Chain A
Amino acid sequence: MELPEKEFLAPGHRACAGCGATIGVRLALKVLGENTVAVSATGCLEVITTPYPETAWEIPWMHVAFENAAAVASGVESALKAQGKTDTTVVVFGGDGGTADIGLQALSGAMERGHNLIYICYDNEAYMNTGIQRSGSTPYGASTTTSPHGKESFGEDKPKKNMPMIMAAHGVPYVATASISYPEDFMKKVKKAAEVDGPAYIHLQQPCTTGWGYSPAKTIELGRLAVETGSWILYEIEEGEFKVTYRPIQRKMVSEYLNAQKRFKHLSDIEKEKIQSHVDAICVELKI
């Protein structure tokens, strides 16, 4: 796949070394190109890319608040439409908190109304901007500062909220999951999302060096482990048709993924087994 040279997210922003979110944004914008307007929810991405008077965004960009990115984008898309600028792409970048929790209502409204926009949730599986608090997207067993492990707790005790399926239930014409560690798969999906007439939703998993607890050099490796162990599944739902877009040749043990991260270090073998059987059940059903 051709990877355009041109960058639309300038270097020199304030992201941590090994940040997965900015990799995702760079890749997405390479596909979408310069005739794009981006909207961000409050969160890591907004803070690291726009410390006034600097900005890393080479395309028009707007941020208003945490929970309303999809609503702001609705306004942007409608205004572009009203001006006859229907060839301009509108893309939203929201974190998992801004998408699955506080922004879910605005997102649901925007998707159900059918605005022609691409919503990309960059999912690092907790509130990383405020210092690793549990979100609806935090996976089972993860220790965060608000779901810490302790004598009475093994960490997060609920499974991850299934955002892509919630979006699919809205009848969104293109829904996909992706990982920053599979750039070709992700970029193909962004391209499809851009070609859809109507809303599109991509749920992008991106490892977070500080929140997950691993060396910044290992971000891509962690993203790969998530997929290769079946802990994160790459699929797309096009006009209601579900298709797995990547199948590991030999699925690895989930413990390999869990053990590589501080947030799961405390888990007992019993809990790890539970997670493995949960993953197995899904993978068997999907023939992964």
Chain B
Amino acid sequence: MVLKVMSSNQAIAEAVKLVKPKVIPVYPITPQTTISEYLAKYVADGDIKAEYIRVESEHSAISACLGASGTGVRVFTATSSQGLALMHEIIFAAAGLRAPIVMADANRALSAPLSIWNDQQDSISERDSGWMQIYAENGQEALDSVLMSYKVSENKEVLLPTMVCIDGFILTHTVDPVDVPEQEEIDKFLPDYNPEHAYLDPERPMSIGTFTDPDYYMEARHDMEVAMEKAKTVISDVSQEFAETFGRKYEFIEKYRSEDADTILIAMGSICSTIKDVIDELREGGEKVGLVRVRVFRPFPVEEIYEAIKGASHVGVIDKNFSFSIGGVLHNNIKSMMDVNAAGFIVGLGGRDIKPSHIKEIVEKTKNPSNKPLWIGLKEEQ
């Protein structure tokens, strides 16, 4: 294995090259843009044989993805923040039309005020769309997640799209060592996409995206929930197969020194690397602290999270998003789905730096929880 040093954006582009999409509609937006640029270069160099469509908006990027996917080919696009918000309408349609699109989202704050920096409000706000969502911690996981996501999304039992989320700048523009699998291995792991449920083929005419009255709509939406449930098994199976081939195993959640922990933090994405460092330091001082990193956010791994935290005395959930009057969305999902007292913390909105000292503060406040979600790293009133 030869590790190459690259940004998570490049890692995602490398993964896209390996899965050989036929159509790639893209529109630039910071901090996703370099994914589009890498892919443009791969297509220009003949390394990817695909139609690269320079669409005039993210709305058209996802629309063209859906048209191409409906025509029966594998597609890819990437976006961020305002772009994802602009896609919103078609994000729901893509899931409803059961198009196994895989899209990368470079997590970035939503306007206003305008910010190009990281938080996870953009993708979290699409949580009810019917897309599966993966939050990667580093470049390797970003690459591997794209590879696995195609196999999960295209599975006949699932047929739902997947959003692979990476923290803007923190991952998109920093480099770490990544193992890029060989093309031959991926060709074996991921067969060609040959849809049986939806295709536009004059030899077998089909109408896709019809008008539905109240006799059918609920069933169509319920079918999606059934598929989301089945995706749990498929994700496990694909992850197992991936581990056997490539030697890297990904679970729904990653448990870090949480087995005997009295205090457990729960978080998603790149912040978990900082938390792990802080945990190591606190453990050296004899404090039993651990982390549960939620990797797969949809389908939501209720059992896995509950099993991992039920033995802890204190649980703190860290969100880089906020639902007004309610608090962090991960925090509230956990509280609503399991019998656990969990403190909630809002951090890092709009790229506010999260320092080890903030994590230590969160650990302390988790041990003496407040009823309300606490905003950590907020400036003192002036």
Which of A's residues lie within 8 Å of B, judged by CB? 34-37, 39, 46-47, 50-53, 55, 57-65, 67-68, 70-76, 78-83, 88, 105-106, 108-110, 112-113
Shortest Cβ gap from A70 to chain B (Å): 8
> A88–B60 contact, CB under 8 A?
no
> What would be 16 A-B contacts, judged by CB atoms less than 8 Å apart?
A50-B211, A51-B210, A52-B211, A52-B216, A57-B205, A57-B207, A60-B202, A64-B97, A65-B90, A72-B67, A74-B63, A75-B65, A78-B51, A79-B22, A79-B67, A106-B56
> B207–A79 contact, CB under 8 A?
no
Contacts of B194-223 to chain A: CB distance below 8 A: 199-202, 204-213, 216
A70–B56 Cα distance when bound, in Å, is 11
Contact with A along B304-333 (1 / 0, CB 8 A): 000000000000000000000000000000
Residues of A contacting B22 in the complex (Cβ-Cβ under 8 angstroms): 78-79, 82-83
B: contact size bracket: 35 or more
Determine the residue in chain B with the shortest Cβ distance to A72: B67
> A37–B64 contact, CB under 8 A?
no
Quick check: which of B34-42, B71-79, B361-369 contacts chain A, the rest being far away? B71-79
Contacts of B63-89 to chain A: CB distance below 8 A: 63-73, 75, 89
Determine the residue in chain A with the shortest Cβ distance to B57: A105
Residues of A contacting B53 in the complex (Cβ-Cβ under 8 angstroms): 74-75, 78, 113
> B213–A52 contact, CB under 8 A?
yes
> B23–A53 contact, CB under 8 A?
no
Residues of A contacting B25 in the complex (Cβ-Cβ under 8 angstroms): 74-75, 78
Residues of B contacting A39 in the complex (Cβ-Cβ under 8 angstroms): 67
> A37–B200 contact, CB under 8 A?
yes
> B208–A51 contact, CB under 8 A?
no
Given A50-B210, A62-B67, A72-B63, list of 17 further CB < 8 A pairs? A36-B202, A50-B209, A60-B207, A62-B200, A62-B208, A63-B210, A65-B89, A68-B60, A75-B25, A75-B53, A76-B71, A76-B200, A79-B51, A83-B72, A88-B202, A106-B63, A109-B55
Q: Is B224 an interface residue (CB 8 A)?
A: no
Q: Is B249 an interface residue (CB 8 A)?
A: no
Q: Is B54 an interface residue (CB 8 A)?
A: yes
> B63–A65 contact, CB under 8 A?
yes
> A71–B55 contact, CB under 8 A?
yes
> B59–A71 contact, CB under 8 A?
yes
Given contacts A72-B66, A83-B73, contact A55 B210 (CB under 8 A): yes
Given contacts A37-B200, A60-B201, A68-B63, contact A79 B71 (CB under 8 A): yes
Determine the residue in chain A with the shortest Cβ distance to B198: A62
Residues of B contacting A74 in the complex (Cβ-Cβ under 8 angstroms): 25, 53, 55, 60, 63-64, 67
Shortest Cβ gap from A169 to chain B (Å): 16
Q: Is B11 an interface residue (CB 8 A)?
A: no
Residues of B contacting A57 in the complex (Cβ-Cβ under 8 angstroms): 205, 207
- Chain A CB within 10 Å, residue with most, of B57, B208, B216: B208
Residues of B contacting A51 in the complex (Cβ-Cβ under 8 angstroms): 210-211, 213
> A34–B202 contact, CB under 8 A?
yes
Determine the residue in chain B with the shortest Cβ distance to A60: B200
A-B interface, 9 closest residue pairs, ranked by CB to CB distance from nearest: A75-B67, A109-B56, A75-B64, A79-B71, A71-B60, A71-B63, A50-B210, A72-B67, A75-B68
> B60–A106 contact, CB under 8 A?
yes
Residues of A contacting B204 in the complex (Cβ-Cβ under 8 angstroms): 60
A14–B359 Cα distance when bound, in Å, is 62
A59–B68 Cα distance when bound, in Å, is 17
> B68–A79 contact, CB under 8 A?
yes
Shortest Cβ gap from B8 to chain A (Å): 26
Q: Is B93 an interface residue (CB 8 A)?
A: yes
Which of A34, A58, A68, A83 contacts B59 (CB under 8 A)?
Answer: A68
Contact with A along B179-200 (1 / 0, CB 8 A): 0000000000000000000011
> B202–A79 contact, CB under 8 A?
no
Which of A71, A75, A108 contacts B71 (CB under 8 A)?
Answer: A75
Q: Is B171 an interface residue (CB 8 A)?
A: no
Given contacts A83-B72, A109-B57, A113-B53, contact A72 B64 (CB under 8 A): yes
> B71–A37 contact, CB under 8 A?
yes
Which of A59, A61, A71 contacts B208 (CB under 8 A)?
Answer: A61
Determine the residue in chain A with the shortest Cβ distance to B22: A82
Residues of A contacting B216 in the complex (Cβ-Cβ under 8 angstroms): 52-53
> B68–A76 contact, CB under 8 A?
yes
Q: Is B50 an interface residue (CB 8 A)?
A: yes
- Chain B CB within 10 Å, residue with most, of A47, A68, A72, A110: A72
A112–B53 Cα distance when bound, in Å, is 12
Given contacts A64-B97, A78-B68, A82-B22, contact A59 B75 (CB under 8 A): no
> A62–B63 contact, CB under 8 A?
no
- Chain B CB within 10 Å, residue with most, of A76, A108, A113: A76
Which of A55, A64, A67 contacts B207 (CB under 8 A)?
Answer: A55
Residues of B contacting A37 in the complex (Cβ-Cβ under 8 angstroms): 71, 200, 202
Given contacts A52-B216, A64-B63, A74-B53, contact A82 B73 (CB under 8 A): yes
A55–B212 Cα distance when bound, in Å, is 11
